[in-house]
């Protein structure tokens, strides 16, 4: 009886350890299925006053703020969106097709919702 419990615990430990290892080393396996086309549209910062919310738009030809194109180059690997404006780099992690989390610049944790 005691030996059976030990074997079960060992198997569970191996399963949970393997799952944890996969999550840590292969996040793409668990990432949402978002294409570059899903990013196209306007993104507005949530949980802040409307007048203080950051916003940007992703288009095929670049990133726009206030109707003006601020950069023509950006990268999207299916999990993260990155671009630079001048010397400032921006990094967003995809939560799902409607939500991004800004990781950099990291003034505070902020989320963006797709509006259109």
* Tens digit of each residue's pLDDT (9 = 90 or more) over 74-88: 999 988 999 999 999
Q: How far apart are CA 72 and CA 26, in angstroms?
A: 30
**Which tokens belong to 9?**
């615990």
- Write phi, then psi, for 72 (nearest 5 degrees): -100, -10
Give start and end residues of each alpha helix (H) in the chain.
2-25, 36-39
Q: 7 and 38 share a domain?
A: no
Bridge partner list, 82: 75, 91
Q: 43 and 11 share a domain?
A: no
Domain that holds residue 56: 33-114
3-12, 22-31, 45-54: segment of lowest average pLDDT: 22-31
Half-sphere exposure of 35 (CA within 13 A, CB side): 3
- Its pTM stands at 0.71
Q: 39 and 26 share a domain?
A: no
């Amino acid at each position: 009886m005691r030996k059976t419990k030990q074997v079960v615990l060992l198997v569970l430990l191996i399963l949970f350890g393997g799952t944890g290892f996969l999550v840590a080393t292969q996040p793409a396996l668990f990432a949402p299925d978002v294409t570059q086309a899903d990013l196209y549209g306007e993104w507005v910062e949530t949980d802040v006053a409307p007048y203080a919310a950051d916003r940007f738009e992703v288009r095929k030809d670049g990133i726009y703020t206030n109707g003006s194109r601020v950069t023509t180059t950006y990268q999207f690997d299916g999990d993260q969106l990155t671009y630079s404006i001048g010397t400032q780099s921006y990094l967003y992690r995809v939560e799902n097709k409607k939500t991004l989390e800004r990781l950099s610049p990291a003034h505070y944790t902020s989320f963006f919702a797709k509006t259109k």
